[in-house]
Amino acid sequence: MCETKIDIQKIEGDFYNIESPEINVDSIINVIISDIALADVKIDLTDRIFPAIVDKKINYNLLKSKRRIVLQYKSYSSHIEKAYALAEQNIINGKQTAMCLLNGMYCNSLEKYDIDSFEPDIIQVRKYADDIIDDVIKQLRTFVYKSANVTQFKEQVEIGINVVVAHAFVECFILENPNATN
């Protein structure tokens, strides 16, 4: 058995060894992920064709390795819309709030790569597109697991995170919209 021993010599400033308060707060995204996890989905891994509008966005942003999450989204697309509709019934501005959170995570990712989140340089976005998506997934994963209402099974959470991020990509809250160019 291995142990990790930490020797703390001196602590300066305030130190609180308590649970973070956000761990006791429910998350809208977790409600959506729970609904996705409960969906009865027939996944066809051989269907790799994207709708033209999604394909256009993938190509515009030069998305490569993270295209696979769009394939996951494709199988769950009707279910995620139902999950957002249910969230809207139970939570005021549920979908809008979730999308704003995801867009904020996108902006945080842009800033990590020194890209202006107010007026993103598409050349820079393209250069880091897969890394940006990966970073948004990591931010969302951290957010989801720090919420009180985490879905029961980790595998469902992981698929749900990918599907939610891919949906935000398709809805143009993450990465750039090819139709919004000057």
DSSP string, 5-74: --------S----S--GGGGS--HHHHHHHHHHTS-----TT--PPPHHHHHHHHHHT--TTHHHHHHHH
Among 175, 182, 145, which residue's Cα sits nearest to residue 33? 145
Q: What's the distance, Cα to Cα, between the start and end of the chain in Å?
A: 61
pLDDT in tens, 22-33: 555 667 777 777
pLDDT at 122: 95
Q: How many CB atoms lie within 10 A of CB 62?
A: 15
Question: Residue 36: which pLDDT band, with cuts at 50, 70 and 90?
Answer: confident
More confident residue, 13 or 111: 111
Domain boundaries, the chain: 52-177
Write the burial class of residue 166 (CB in 10 Å: 0-12 exposed, 13-18 middle, 19+ buried): buried
Mean pLDDT of 148-154: 74
**pTM value > 0.85:** no
Residue 120: CB partners within 8 Å, gap ≥ 6? 110, 176
Question: Residue 51: which pLDDT band, with cuts at 50, 70 and 90?
Answer: low
| Share above pLDDT 70 across residues of the chain, in percent, rounded to a whole number | 77
pLDDT in tens, 93-122: 888 899 999 999 999 999 999 999 999 999
Among 145, 167, 143, which residue's Cα sits nearest to residue 154? 145
The alpha carbon of residue 67 and the mean position of all alpha carbons in its chain are separated, in whole angstroms, by: 14
